[in-house]
Every structure is written in C-alpha cells, then in structure tokens.
C-alpha cells in the first residue's frame, strides 16, 4: 500500500458502489469460517480490520460484541461502509500499510487482513508485517487471506507467495498456526483461488 492513499486505490474510489455491493453479497461466516475459532474469547476484545473495504467483516465482528477498528485507503468505500454502520459500533479510519500512522501505539487481540496482501508492493511487505506485529498483542492472532492465481492489473496487484509471507512473518515474532488448502473463489472466478493463514504472536526466547 502506498502512502499516497488516492493513487493505488483509485479503482476502488471510482467504482466504490460496485465493490461495496459485490462484497456485501458474501457473508463473513461463509468466507472466514476457518478463522472463527481463532477469534478472541474475551468479550469486547479489540480487533483490527486492515483493508476493510465494504465493511462487511468489520460489521460482522462488531455484531459478535468485539470492539472493532476498521481502516481502508479508499475514502469512497470507507464512506459507504461507515454509512452502513447505523449503530455506530465501529471506529473507521482512512489509512494504509505499511505505516498505519493513525493507529499510533494501539494494540489488538486479533487482526484481519483479508484480500489485501496482493495489493502491497513487495518492497513494502517487510515493513507492513513489522507494523502489524507491533499492533498485535502477545498471543494474539493475525488472519490473512492470500489471493492466488490471476491478478487484476487495474487494481495494482502483485504476485504473492505463501513461503514469502511465512518467512517475513517469522522475522517479526509471528508463527503460523493454521494454513488452509487452496479454496475456490467466492465470486466464482475460475482463475482465482485463495489460501487462509493464521499467525500467532509469540515472544522471542531470551538469549542466555
């Protein structure tokens, strides 16, 4: 994600209505069922949804009783998502990786990064994982969905690798605890598949 929020996400701003309605046709419980068992057990735990898009996942998590912060670089998608949050249960922020400056020193028990990693330029990925690790509580979980296969150049996508992600995560105290098989695309795109990965934040062992 670039610091110039309006550049890489211009397609989401220009076609915000299309993306908003398309993503809201799919239910959180269907798309993210493998992630549910990793959600915090503590009521009102802090959860961060990075690249919240239509706000579908943020709203579903808020309905479960969590305190949710949702960030996205697309101002138009964020506007539509916030308007749907009629009960005002979510904290909405216009921000992007790798810095997420608006979050300061906030901390979260669970972080969701759904359909975002492919948008992050390779040269920004290490700093992005580092920042995510800083925001995640010890023993907290990071859930990521990886888009595999055909990339949409109009939305500035880059190729992804499960091994690259695991290697970067390990540098910042994030250990994989769940890796799914490839699954079919929820929007029935034949050349697109997904893998889900969950990492747990651990502390490095002390050096004697």
φ, ψ at 175 (rounded to 5°): -110, 135
**pLDDT at residue 14 in the model:** 64
If you search the block for the tokens 């150049």, which residue do you land on?
153
- Domain residue ranges in the chain: 10-201
Which CATH number does 10-201 carry? 3.40.50.150
Mean pLDDT of 21-45: 85
| 68 touches 49 (CB < 8 A) | yes
| CA-angle at 110, arms to 58 and 127, nearest 5° | 100
**pLDDT at residue 43 in the model:** 87
Neighbours of 87 (CB within 10 A): 8
**pLDDT at residue 30 in the model:** 82
Q: What's the pLDDT tens digit per position in 176-208?
A: 999 998 877 666 666 778 899 999 999 765 344
The partner residues of 66 in beta bridges, in order of sequence, read none
| CA-angle at 193, arms to 192 and 198, nearest 5° | 140
Mean pLDDT of 43-62: 94
Torsion of Cα atoms, 192 then 10 then 90 then 184, to 10° = 0
Give pTM, 2 decimals: 0.86
Q: What's the pLDDT tens digit per position in 97-126?
A: 999 999 999 999 999 999 899 989 999 999
| 199 touches 177 (CB < 8 A) | yes
Q: Output 47 or 12, whichever has higher pLDDT.
A: 47
Q: What's the pLDDT tens digit per position in 75-92?
A: 988 999 999 998 899 999
Q: What's the pLDDT tens digit per position in 149-159?
A: 766 665 678 88
**pLDDT at residue 95 in the model:** 95
Q: What percent of the chain clears pLDDT 70, i.e. is strictly above it?
A: 80
pLDDT at 34 over 60: yes
**pLDDT at residue 19 in the model:** 53
- DSSP-based three-state secondary structure for 103: helix
Running DSSP on this structure, what letter comes out for residue 107?
Answer: -
pLDDT at 18 over 90: no
């Amino acid at each position: 994600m670039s610091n110039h929020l309006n550049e890489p996400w211009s397609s989401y701003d220009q076609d915000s209505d299309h993306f908003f309605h398309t993503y809201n046709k799919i239910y959180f419980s269907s798309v993210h069922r493998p992630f549910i068992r990793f959600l915090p057990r503590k009521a009102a735990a802090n959860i961060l949804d990075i690249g919240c898009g239509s706000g579908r996942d943020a709203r579903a998590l808020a309905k479960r009783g969590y305190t949710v912060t949702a960030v996205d670089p697309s101002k138009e998608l964020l506007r539509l998502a916030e308007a749907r949050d009629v009960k005002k249960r979510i904290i909405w922020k216009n921000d992007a990786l790798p810095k997420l400056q608006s979050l300061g020193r906030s901390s979260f028990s669970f972080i969701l990064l759904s359909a975002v990693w492919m948008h992050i330029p390779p040269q920004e990925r290490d700093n992005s994982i580092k920042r995510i690790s800083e925001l995640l509580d010890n023993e907290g979980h990071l859930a990521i969905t990886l888009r595999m296969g055909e990339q949409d150049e109009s939305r500035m996508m880059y190729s992804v690798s499960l091994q690259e992600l695991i290697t970067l995560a390990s540098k910042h105290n994030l250990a994989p605890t769940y890796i799914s098989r490839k699954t079919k695309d929820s929007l029935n795109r034949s050349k697109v598949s997904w893998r889900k990965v969950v990492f747990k934040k651990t502390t490095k062992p002390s050096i004697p």
